[in-house]
Every structure is written in C-alpha cells, then in structure tokens.
Structure 1
Amino acid sequence: MIKPLMLLALTAFALQAHGKVDAVQAARLGQDLTPLGAERAGNTAGTIPQWSGGITTPPAGYSVGMHHLDPFAGDEVLFTINQQNLDQYRAQLPVGTQMLIEKNPNYYVQVYPTRRSAAAPQRIYDATRQNAERGELISAGNGVQGVTAGIPFPLPQNGLEAIWNHIMRYRGEQLHSVVNHAAVLSSGNYTLVKRERDVYFVYGREGMTQQDLNNTLFYYKYRVVAPSALSGSSLAVQETLDQVLALRKAWRFSRGERRVRRLPMLAYDSLQPDTSGMATADVVDAYNGAPDRYEWNLLGKQEMLVPYNSYKVHQKGIPYSDILQEKTLNPELLRHELHRVWVVEADLRIGHSHPYAKRRFYLDEDSWQILAVDLYDKNGDLIALQESHPINYYDSLTFASTLETIYDFKDSRYFVDGLDNNEPMYDFNVTLNPRDFTPQALRREGN
C-alpha cells in the first residue's frame, strides 16, 4: 500500500475531467517542472538530484553504430539489497522485486547513484507544452485528440492519462534492430530466437498533422532469423491509436505455408508466438494497446528503487549465457537507482478475462517509460513481475528499454526480450516507408 504522506498532491491538477489544463498550470513546464512534466528539483534528502537536461550529447569515444558507451561506468555501488536486509528497503521496492529477492537467494539488487539522464528533442518539449492545453481523452478514454507529437498529458489527472503518456512517448521516428528473446525455463534451459525488427513511428514524427496521423501510432514488422526451424516467418502490424474504434491490423507470413494470413486478434491476452506462453500481446513495451478492459487509477508519485541507466547489461560482446542465469538475469550486470515514479493501478473490468486481473505500474517521471509492473491474478495473488531496463540512446535522444523481462513466479521461469550485445546496434536513421508494413511486403520478402 502506498502511504498517503509519500504521495505528491494531485489536487492542483484536477481541474477538468479529462486532459486540458489551464495556461497557468501549463506554464510550469520548463520552469519548476521539466518539459515533460517531472519535478525539476531534487528531493529534500539529496538522494535524487535536480534534472539538468539529461544526456544530450554522446560521451567521448562514441560514434554512431557502436553499442552505447556507459557514461556512468565510474559509479560505485551505494548498497546492495538481498534476502538478509530486504526488510529495510521494502517501502522503496516494487512488490514484485521484493518477491524476486525472496524466491531467489542468489539474487540481489545493486543500487547506484541516481542519474537523471532522460532527454528528448526540443521539438518534443515544445509539442508537450502545447499538448498540456490541447490534449483530450475521447471515446471513453480509448483515444486521444488534439496532439500529434510529445507527451499528451504532462500534468496527468488520472490513470488513463498517465498510461497514454507511456504509450505515446517519443521513441524516435524509425528504427531497425536485430535482437534476441529467450524463454528461460525453470531448469535454466532456453533457446534464443533472433529477429530483425523495423518500426516506423507516425505519432511524434516531425511535421505530422492531425489529418496525416489518421488514427495511427506506428507500423511494426519483424522477421525471424534464427533458429533455423523458425527462420523466415514474419509479422507486420499497423498500430492504431484508438483500438476500440479500429483494431490493430496484423498479418503473419508462415514459412511453411508460404502465405500471408490476417490475424483475427493480436491484442490483450492473446499469446505471443515463441514465448512458451509467458508473454501476452499487451506486455510488449511493458504495456501497449487499448486500455478499455481495465479501470485505471492514479495513486500518485513515490520514490522507488527501479531499473535505470542499464548500460552495463547493454555493452557489446557480453555472452548471452552470462546474462541469462537460472531463475533470473545476472544481477551483477543490472543497475537500480532511486527515482520518483508515477504509480498507476489497473483493475480488470467485470466481464473481461485476462491472466492479470490487477497490474501496478511504476512510470518514470522524467520519461514516462514504465520501469516495473506488479502482476496479480484474479485471486489477488502476485504471480509475475515485469521490468524494463532503460538507457538513453543518446544518438537519437530516446530514452527506452534495452531489455524487458517477465518473471513468472508460479513456474519459476522468465522471459527476456531485447538481447543485442552481439548484434549490430540499433539504426535510428534507416529508410522506411508505410508500404514496407503491408501484407504485400511480407509476401514479397518471404519469397
């Protein structure tokens, strides 16, 4: 339970039912608040510093195409949390992180100095300032209008607005990547599945207009490269903004059938392929898709120990076997810091089904990236933990996860996505076009 005294007052923002705030509140952006709505100042204890713009230039020695050098490699561990001292830190840890430590005697959390590294392009800051007075929830919260770039609700008044901030945050304009995922079984066995991925972002694209947006967030495509038994299969997705108005469109090319099929549903609790049943469609990027099956409650803000500046596990050349240990990721390669996070609870609405009847999200105040999620079943039991391990991709001013994990507490196994240590680094300058994400494109590429 979050203690009321630990919450920051929300009443100052509760000016309207949905979205827009007045000019006085909006003027705080870039002043006592950061351009994306976080508190600029540090905390009174001095354990969270002031935000001073984040990382806006690469560190010395970096060039585009490299794995991102760790700008904080010289930081020393402040303290380590394990089973012996867990009780001292429970109030600052997600419940799922606490259980991860409780269930795994060899797991620990290394806490480093807090570095507020998140940054975005100036045009995203400018758009966010406009959004504060223009952005509105529509369609009972299932859509957003009045925005084409930037954070739609930098002064959130409810849980729906906060989760839309995550869904619509800036992640560049296009992206090509080669990454691996693995379902690590309780025995420690796993098979790496390698995919080439392309993303063409529509929302947030420079010069975008409301008419051009056409209810589209982005286009996404992947092609399986390995293992050989799966290689050649591919998937294309056209991600809509209001998915109740128009469902996302998805097509899959099967190498065996050599044909493209429209998927009737790739959303909510439908399972992702090749994940051993551990990953539903809506856990990609910590949460995605329509929010209509949940009631969303904004609980406030709290100082929490969460994954952050995860450059150590991102570095080039680390064998995947060094990262993927039995039961958990290798804790020696992970970094946690103390940050203020927005806490949002989502409760499954009556009449809907999902393995996760309740979710508690922890959203970074500086970037709106979800950093951790506690996942509960219909009996109220904590059954899983999601974590996003983010870095500032400073060559594109994008703050996003380099690894995403789901720990399944019932079966003592976990799923991890984003392993790229031995692959070419992300290309944020790749040339892409919406026509690259059609069923016709899948068919051409599969032949």
Structure 2
Amino acid sequence: MKKTLASLLGVAALCLTAQAGAKVPAAEAAKLGAELTPVGAEKAGNADKTIPEWTPRPRTGALKGEWPNDPDVDAQKPLFTITKANMAQYSAKLTEGHKKLLSSYDSYKLNVYPSVRKIDWPKEIQDATKANATTCELVNTEILNNCKLGFPFPIPKSGAEPIWNHKLKWRGESVTRYNNQMIVQPNGQFQLTKIVEDVTFGYASLKNPTELKPGQGEFLKYLSKTVAPPRLAGTFILVHEKMGTGAEGRAAWLYSPGLKRIRRAPTVCCDNPYEGTDGHQFYDQVDMFNGALERYNWKLVGKKEMYIPYNSNKIAGKGTKYKDLAKPKHLNQDLPRYELHRVWVVEADIKPGTSHTFKKRRFYVDEDGWTIAAVDDYDNRDQLYQFQEGHIINASNLLAATTVPEVIYHFTSGRYFITAAWNEDKPIDATASFNADYFSAASVQKMTTK
C-alpha cells in the first residue's frame, strides 16, 4: 500500500508539473483585451479605488535622447509617507526589504503617491501575446516552445512564467545605454563605474522575431564596455543569451585589458560577482534577474497589492546628480516615488543538491509591465541578506517599461550598490543598429586594438 500511495503521489506531482507550464484554453485567452489588458493585467482598479483602472498613455517622444517624463504625474504631491513610526499600519503591503530598511534607519521613508497605470506596449506585442497564450508552453524552467514576439505567459500558472515574461519583454529592436554604477559606503561616499551597453533583441523584435522552440533559443545579444575608472577601463563582456543550460545555454566571453585577449567565460553566470562590482552584484542580479532558472524550484504565490517604486521620472531624470542619489546608509529617499500596485509574488527556493548564495528569493513582478520591481534575497540561515529595488519608468517613447536605477542593499556590510543609472550621461538610444557580426568574439577583439 505504501508503495502504491507513493506511486500515486509521484504521478500527481508529475501532472502538476506538466500543468504548470501548459498553454491556456482559448476561452481563458479571450479575457485578454477584455477584463484583462492585452498583456494580462487586471484592467479594472481595486475595490477601494486606491489602484485605478488601466488607462494607457499613447506613444510620445523620440527614440533617442528622451528622458522619462509625464507632466501630469510629475506635478503630483505625495499622499502620505511611510516611516518607522507608522510602518505597522502598512506592513501587509510592504516587501520584507522595505520593512528591514524602515526598522533599521530613522531616516528611511517611502513617499507614496497616487497610483498611475499608463504602461502600454506596441500592438504587435499585444497581438503576439494573445497568440502566445494558447500556443506557448514551458517545457521545463529553461525551455520554451511555440513562443513568438509577445509575452509568453500573460495568464501565468507557474512561478517560472512571470520571470520569463520579465526576461523576454519588448524593450526596442536594439539599444545603447549608459549603465553607471556606485558602491556606496555607510558614510555616503561612493566609487563610480561607467559602463556602455549595446543590446539587440532577437525574440522581442518587431522586424524579425526569433521564435523560441527546442533547438532554437537565442533571444538577445549583449556587449558591455567599461570606460571608467582607469583600473577597469577596457573590460568587455559579451553574452549570447539562450534558452537552456550548459553548452546549450548562455554563451559568454570576457576581455580583460591585462590579458589582452578575449576568452570564453562560463563564470558569467549565477552568483559569480559581475566584473568590476567588487562583489556587490551577482551576474544573475543584472536587470533584477537574468540567466538560468535551473537552481531553484519556482512557486507562484499569487497576486498581491504592494507599495513599489513606480513612475520614477525624478530619480531617473537628468536633473538628479549622482551625489544627490548616494546618501549614508541608503538611497536619498526624497527622490523615489512609490505607488500601490498589484504584483505577482513568486518564490524561488534552492533545489536540493545545488548551491547559490541565496537559499530563497521572493520576487515582486508588476502586473502591467511584467517588470521585477523588488526582490527579497535570503541566505542559507534563512536571514534576509540582500534587498533589490528596481525603480520602474514608463518609457512611452518605446511603449515599454524598465527600471532606472536599480539598487541592491547589503544588510551585513551596511553598503549598497546603485546600478543602471544614466542621469549624468544620456538616456537609452533606441535608434542603435548593429552589423550581424558586431556581437562576436572576433569583433570585440578588433575593438580592443583600435
């Protein structure tokens, strides 16, 4: 009997796993564009009207030189402020990271503004998302099948699906962006690293989208060049991002000025420190999360109302200097804007037999933008070890959403790390165009000799 029961439980587990990555029926997909937005968010606001109905903003602005802005939003004043003194009143809608910061520092606060839901996407992305709903499948955490152009899982059924939505979202055809980074000491002093990144998107390309299916899984190419400080200048990281793991997954190369050659770099992965960050950012923390999901079991906890950084035009704008951002112990909290939004909560627990600095991660994914807004990171003692915070902007010139800047708080050292800041350089250039061989090791080697 015990053997029979165990066998039945095993079959049930397999069935649940299979269902977790299943496409949805046509009747459920029909909700997209009706009670759901075209990409899967609830179109209506909440019952007490603290979250409004989705009212998308039309495309505005040029594809180059456009700082995030919305005159109506930017003119608003905070509704209230959450501090250590009153945080218990709002505790149910706060991440564990925000609670930790509020309880640790009297100077930390969250200025909460009216919630605004204007994020929209190109019609091609909307149409492809609806098609994906009934065709796209998650074979396992690393392999997708029959997915093209749009969000693969607008009506998610398993924990890995919102993460793939984040990874595959539309961000333009090809872009160049400045990624300025700061390691901020407890006294507020910081070291600035300047990086220029070029990216071309194969999957989310309106012109020539790559369909994802077994054996055909490359969805973006990435090249970064460090330009400052002098000790790091001239470092290149090249990545071909693919579905799968091992030889089938990510391919990466690193050029070090000291070695004067480009070499394969399998360590551009997981919880290895990103080059030049002095251990303050792991490779899989870039863009809040990227890379393989294989080390974790993923659970879709459900949807919840949370206070998250949103419509962060001020903190991402050219009027804010880096010395304005970096303050002792935490970010200058006069700058961020927080709003109440519905998020998908996803938990990732380390698989037995695998390893990672983070035993558990809890992700908060915005329903409108499929953008990871925050991550609670726990160590192997089940203690909150780090907290990641992404300040969401509505890039209406692209009809997309992204995070500028991103912050990683290190609770054991008292330091924090700011990344993806562009304030003193230029915003994303979505007019960028690259030759077919630009993202190759040979091309990078030639760049270093110029």
Normalised TM-score (structure 2): 0.92
What is the Cα deviation at residue 179 of structure 1? 2.4
Structure 1, residues 324-379: CA drift from partner, whole Å, max 9, x if none? 11111110110000000000100001111111100011000111100011111111
The answer to whether 1:37 aligns with 2:56 is no
Task: Report the 3-state secondary structure (helix = DSSP H, G, I; strand = E; otherwise coil) of the residue aligned with 1:331.
Answer: coil
What is the Cα deviation at residue 259 of structure 1? 1.2
CA spacing shift, 1:196–1:63, aligned 2, 3 Å: closer
Task: Report the 3-state secondary structure (helix = DSSP H, G, I; strand = E; otherwise coil) of the residue aligned with 1:113.
Answer: coil
Question: What amino acid is aligned across from residue 38 of structure 1 in structure 2?
Answer: A
For residues 23 and 315 of structure 1, the distance between their equivalents in structure 2, rounded to whole angstroms, comes to: 42
Q: Where does residue 74 of structure 2 map in the other structure?
A: 73
Task: Report the 3-state secondary structure (helix = DSSP H, G, I; strand = E; otherwise coil) of the residue aligned with 1:346.
Answer: strand
The answer to whether 1:19 aligns with 2:5 is no
Q: Does the 8 Å contact 1:193/1:224 carry over to 2?
A: yes
Q: Where does residue 336 of structure 2 map in the other structure?
A: 334
What is the Cα deviation at residue 69 of structure 1? 2.5
Mean Cα deviation higher: 364-373 or 264-273 = 264-273
Q: Where does residue 237 of structure 2 map in the other structure?
A: 235
For residues 22 and 219 of structure 2, the distance between their equivalents in structure 1, rounded to whole angstroms, comes to: 19
For residues 348 and 439 of structure 1, the distance between their equivalents in structure 2, rounded to whole angstroms, comes to: 33
Mean Cα deviation higher: 105-114 or 420-429 = 420-429
Map of 1:270-349 to 2, 5 A cutoff? 270-349=272-351
Q: Where does residue 216 of structure 1 map in the other structure?
A: 218
Question: What amino acid is aligned across from residue 252 of structure 1 in structure 2?
Answer: L
The answer to whether 1:105 aligns with 2:106 is yes
For residues 344 and 359 of structure 2, the distance between their equivalents in structure 1, rounded to whole angstroms, comes to: 20
Q: Where does residue 370 of structure 1 map in the other structure?
A: 372
Q: Does the 8 Å contact 2:63/2:398 carry over to 1?
A: no
Q: Where does residue 393 of structure 2 map in the other structure?
A: 391
Q: Where does residue 86 of structure 1 map in the other structure?
A: 87
Gaps (5+ residues) in structure 2? 1-15
For residues 41 and 66 of structure 1, the distance between their equivalents in structure 2, rounded to whole angstroms, comes to: 30
Q: Where does residue 199 of structure 1 map in the other structure?
A: 199
Q: Where does residue 419 of structure 1 map in the other structure?
A: 421
CA spacing shift, 1:244–1:51, aligned 2, 3 Å: farther
Q: Where does residue 141 of structure 1 map in the other structure?
A: 141
Task: Report the 3-state secondary structure (helix = DSSP H, G, I; strand = E; otherwise coil) of the residue aligned with 1:333.
Answer: coil
Mean Cα deviation higher: 208-217 or 80-89 = 208-217
For residues 109 and 210 of structure 1, the distance between their equivalents in structure 2, rounded to whole angstroms, comes to: 41
How much identity, in percent, do the aligned residues show? 39
Question: What amino acid is aligned across from residue 130 of structure 1 in structure 2?
Answer: A
Question: What amino acid is aligned across from residue 66 of structure 1 in structure 2?
Answer: E
For residues 18 and 448 of structure 2, the distance between their equivalents in structure 1, rounded to whole angstroms, comes to: 53
CA spacing shift, 1:376–1:434, aligned 2, 3 Å: farther
Q: Does the 8 Å contact 2:253/2:262 carry over to 1?
A: yes
CA spacing shift, 1:105–1:420, aligned 2, 3 Å: same
Structure 1, residues 55-80: CA drift from partner, whole Å, max 9, x if none? 22327xx7841322343111110000
Q: Does the 8 Å contact 1:345/1:358 carry over to 2?
A: yes
Normalised TM-score (structure 1): 0.93
What is the Cα deviation at residue 183 of structure 1? 1.2
Task: Report the 3-state secondary structure (helix = DSSP H, G, I; strand = E; otherwise coil) of the residue aligned with 1:436.
Answer: coil
**Count of aligned positions:** 431
Q: Where does residue 174 of structure 2 map in the other structure?
A: 174
What is the Cα deviation at residue 244 of structure 1? 4.8
